[in-house]
Structure 1
Amino acid sequence: MRKNDSNTSRSDLRKSKKKHKVLRIVLLVFVLLVATAAGFTAYEVHRLNPENRFSNLKVIGGTGNAKQSAGVFNMLLIGSDARKGDSASHTDSMVLIHANLKDHTYNMLSIPRDTRVYMDGYGYTKLTSVQYISQVNHGTQAGIVDAVKAVSNLTGVPINFYAETNYWGLQDMVDAIGGIDMNLPFKVTLTHAWNKAYQGRTYQPGMHSFDGATVTELVHERYSLPGTDYGRQQLQEAALIGIAKKMMQPSNVTRFPALSQSLPKFLMATNMSSEDMVSIGLSARGNFHPEQQIKYRQVKGRGAVMYDDVLKANNDQVILAPDQLKTVIKNYFTN
């Protein structure tokens, strides 16, 4: 009986040792997996950290790198009238952004489409014409670069990134995040709607929930607004704040990587990578308050009939106040 007990004990001991050995191997593999994942995560966090991601940035249309602090960059948002299949388009709106991802401030300056600018090789013309003329003569990419250079020359701001969208791109983006809440500062009547079904619709001041099509029509309107182009700038600000707030909701933050992979649907063109955009999103997570951190700056201008060197005729142009422009750029668009 004792002999059998002894054999059983040794057998159990061997099974126990084998079981513990297997357990140790499983634990070792698990530890290695965790260590590998932790190392990968640490690497990704380091690589996507804004101060690492956005440093020694190149200047579009320039040579070398801009002297900017790490985690700081300048970007031009371009809204164009491009349609599918078009090789050239006019810029309908332009927003210059100075982003500081360290203190989470985003200063924006909307530049009227009819602003008088200098175009290399041609002379003075409207800003809206630069991209179109250059794309017709030199190709799609050259047109975007020339539009960026025209804004950089006008403002003195070195620009690192650009992103161009159109009617359908903005509509798709807003719809992809489930629509937005938009606070209208004044009454808006749609006088030149892209979609004729929206023509003549009126929206009262205050907070509204809008889908992509409505948002797109609102930021395109200008003729019924106080100050026309300057009224449009206020609507653009309201839309951008609405988009930013919706993007930072927990349900959308987790979708940043997936949304960034869908960028070709939203953007006509950009030199910003998906990882750049994920880095921006991660930097804002947990410390993003659009109403306080997104600031729209305005520079007033005067209308004047001026000779257009490109069109070889006089037309209505906007001359931005040079002293005010210089002050705004110095205070909000430099390090």
Structure 2
Amino acid sequence: MDLRQLTTFYVLATTLNFHQTAARLNYVQSTVSAQIQALEEEFGVCLFDRLGRRVVLTDAGTRLLPYAKQMLHIAEEARLAITDDHKLIGTLTIGAPETLCTYRLPDVLHKFRTTYPQVRLLFNPMPCEELRRAVRDGSVDLVFVMEEPVSDSMLQVEPLISETIQLIASPHHPLAQRTAILPGDLEQETVLFAEAGCPYRLHLQHLLRAAGIQPLSTLEFDSVEAIKQCVMVGIGVAMLPEVAIAAEREQSKLAILPWAGEQIVLVTQMLWHKQKWMSPALQAFLTIARETLLRSQERQADGRGEEDEKEDRHISVASVP
């Protein structure tokens, strides 16, 4: 038994898929099979059942899994103990929807890359409906989602930021002059929707169906930026997260309409597999993401930007005698 065999066992136990395991480890599939077979012969037990195309852990495999995870963790600690622990290495694969990729995560990625430049980051913008599936099957190490609080027996979930989804229009749109907007007021409007499966699209569609409202017309976009541009020139109305419209709202390019219907509140959350080995690189990324996003929420709640915060720090330092 060696660490390569244990690593292969651990990844296969997480993905339950030979092809995905081979892809993650840069092996051909026959190498994965050979390493698993070698482990099974050494222990004298079957670690996986092959049921057609399905792969299932046996009782023996289930008992081995926590020990394999612990041994790999100790091996990583030993490696770090004899190297510079400020120079984390490895690869992290992160998934997120377009909204978070654009408006929430750039600061996180910049901070992590600056702090740990030797960690290879693979950042995958993904459709909303694919994110949970990707983290369950091990295609990615971590995903960020913006939706209602997630409850999933396979996943570790950490909520970070809650925000209201806002109904928006051009400041010159007739609805921008109203004091209250109900679902029925959208019946004669063009509604701009985000991609299929997007949580705030699904919520708005549900609200309209529940009220028996069919908008005059609808348009679908894969890009939040495209939605905003079309709203600004008066093509229609849309519902988008506060973080996506903050700059345009401050510049009076978009108007938040006084929506009097049911409020939509979504949560930015980090999700990772409960059985995943928490490498030092992943732990470091979680810490930086947590600190950066919570700090950004505090600035947003105070109506302050990062430049304001930097200016305050400069004043505080300059005032010290």
Output the TM-score relative to the length of structure 2.
Answer: 0.29
Compare CA radii of gyration and give the structure with the larger one. Answer: 1
With a CA cutoff of 8 Å and minimum separation of 6, indicate the structure with the bigger relative contact order.
Answer: 2
Output the TM-score relative to the length of structure 1.
Answer: 0.28
